[in-house]
């Protein structure tokens, strides 16, 4: 099974959308194997968004992501990176399909509620930034036999 990193950003937390987002992830059949709420420090934010350093919007990303608590998750399942990207929708909510988290719950690219790793490499890097290996659970959900051949 593949693992990926997901974050409900401060705007999603402030709007009370954590439960709705988790429900969508679990209803799809993916398994949450790590979860924590905290306010990301500037150092963690800079590591997380490191690939954007030097771009004009970098500091505004850092300021926003450190502005309040967020919820970090490790999600596991078959093709979890691809599945989560489809659940989340386009980065720009105005282009996100109805039925996706961003398509249903957000209007502005700067306040698009959720982050989902865009590749296995990014997922591995981001999981290591936000979680120690000891914080990630390993277990089998009872319904997995009905999800996968």
**Is 48 an annotated catalytic residue?**
no
Quick one: tokens of 63? 């300021």
Rounded Cα–Cα distance for residues 79 and 130 (Å): 21
Quick one: tokens of 35? 């979860």
List the catalytic residues: 115
């Amino acid at each position: 099974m593949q693992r990926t990193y997901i974050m409900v950003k401060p705007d999603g937390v402030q709007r009370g959308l954590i439960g709705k987002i988790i429900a969508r992830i679990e209803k799809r059949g993916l398994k949450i194997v790590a979860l924590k709420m905290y306010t990301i420090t500037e150092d963690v934010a800079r590591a997380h968004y490191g690939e954007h350093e030097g771009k004009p919007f970098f500091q505004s990303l850092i300021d926003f992501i450190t502005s309040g608590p967020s919820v970090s998750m490790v999600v596991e399942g078959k093709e979890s990176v691809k599945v989560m990207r489809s659940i989340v929708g386009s980065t720009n909510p105005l282009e996100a399909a109805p039925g996706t988290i961003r398509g249903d719950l957000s209007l502005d690219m700067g306040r698009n509620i959720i982050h989902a790793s865009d590749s296995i490499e990014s997922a591995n890097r981001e999981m290591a930034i936000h979680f120690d290996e000891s914080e990630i659970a390993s277990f089998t959900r009872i319904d997995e036999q009905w999800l996968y051949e």
